[in-house]
Amino acid sequence: DATVRRIAAGEVVERPASVVKELLENSLDADASRVTVAVEGGGVEGIRVRDDGVGMTAADLERAVEEHTTSKITGGDDLDQVGTLGFRGEALHTIGAVSRLTIRSRPRSGGRGHELTVEGGTAGEVTPSGCPPGTVVEVADLFYNTPARRKFLKTETTEFDHVNRVVTQYALANPDVATTLEHDGREVFATEGAGDLESTVLAVYGREVASSMIEVDGGRPEPGADPSGPVESVSGLVSHPETTRAGREYLSTFVNGRYVTAGTLREAVLDAYGGQLATDRYPFAVLFVEVPPDAVDVNVHPRKMEVRFDDEAAVREAVTAAVREALLEEGL
């Protein structure tokens, strides 16, 4: 029944950042090359995600907000599911149950635009809408009908921090997608979508950090060595040991292209710096680790994006070696 559904939804959609994450995922799945995330009041008042992806027909729109509907096929326990709402085809339906959700979409391949509004789980009619190709999803008044959940929200600043982190992770993981984040009408960052990590880091973290970044390009087995090791490659950027922050949220790790948190990876990076980091300071890192899909366990804590590796020690060693080598090349 509707109440049970609302409570269940409140447990999976934790906060504005969880909504942003799902909408961003959908835009990227829709092959967008440009995505704009605009939030008001930390995302509590409103969230709007606009993309230039494949878009939806009127029939697609209707289906998109129904329960358990997805146009996507997935292999089950794969890394693609890390951190998503846990079920395929649940995000829009779930978000629609706890907010006022409006979707406007027009297929990129041609045809007219349409819009659909869902309020507290009740979908309205699909009506024509003059919108550009692609999709705009607006979420207003999140948790307006679940006061208990709404009470758990933190200040606008804290909620926006979470939103910022999510959008930053996706921007860094997708340098070929021009990603813009706005808060209360002000641009927070905008990546070019030029495809290179350097310009993406510059857009997201600014010039001081970007200019201190050191390229990591390692982890590949030596020519002739056994290629079936637990790590295929380790690449990305890490900062000079003097460019640090007090929080570890700037140490971003991605496994097979997905943002993950893994103590193993974080410690591996820190180890590579030896004693060069000041106490309680963390470097910036944007590190991509590629492993065979069956060498990583994604079911540790789906919503927190935690993963574990079959061979933690080997992964740790490979990551430390790759980062160490990069620092050594800079004489560090």
Question: Of the candidates 40, 51, 80, 138, which one interacts with ligand ADP according to CB under 6 A?
Answer: 51
**x/- string (CB under 5 A) for Mg ion, residues 3-42?**
-----------------------x----------------
CB of 170 to ligand ADP, least distance (A): 13
Sole window of 38-46, 89-97, 191-199, 252-260 interacting with Mg ion (rule: CB under 5 A):
89-97
Side chain identity, residue 64: A
Among residue numbers 78 through 117, which ones bind ligand ADP (CB under 6 A)? 88-93
Yes or no: say if 286 and 172 are a contact pair by the CB < 8 Å rule: yes
Question: Of the candidates 9, 39, 54, 166, which one interacts with ligand ADP according to CB under 6 A?
Answer: 54
CA-based nearest residue to 128, from 106, 102, 101 = 106
> Should residue 139 be labelled a site residue for Mg ion when binding is judged by CB under 5 A?
no
Yes or no: say if 114 and 129 are a contact pair by the CB < 8 Å rule: yes
Calpha distance 280→169 (Å, rounded): 22
Yes or no: say if 137 and 25 are a contact pair by the CB < 8 Å rule: no
Yes or no: say if 287 and 269 are a contact pair by the CB < 8 Å rule: yes
Yes or no: say if 219 and 322 are a contact pair by the CB < 8 Å rule: yes
Residue closer to Mg ion (CB basis): 39 or 91: 91
Position with the least CB separation from Mg ion: 91
Among residue numbers 15 through 34, which ones bind ligand ADP (CB under 6 A)? 22, 26-27, 30
**Contacted by 70, from ligand ADP, Mg ion, none: CB < 5 to 8 Å by type:** ligand ADP
CB of 274 to ligand ADP, least distance (A): 43
> Should residue 71 be labelled a site residue for ligand ADP when binding is judged by CB under 6 A?
yes
CB of 23 to ligand ADP, least distance (A): 7
Query: What DSSP state is assigned to residue 293?
Result: G
Residue closer to ligand ADP (CB basis): 74 or 127: 74
Q: How far is CA 150 from CA 7, 46, 205, in A?
A: 12, 14, 31
Question: Of the candidates 20, 35, 91, 287, which one interacts with Mg ion according to CB under 5 A?
Answer: 91
What six digits make up the tokens of 330? 């800079």
Calpha distance 4→327 (Å, rounded): 53
What six digits make up the tokens of 64? 């998109």
Residues that bind ligand ADP (CB under 6 A): 22, 26-27, 30, 51, 53-56, 64, 70-72, 88-93, 135
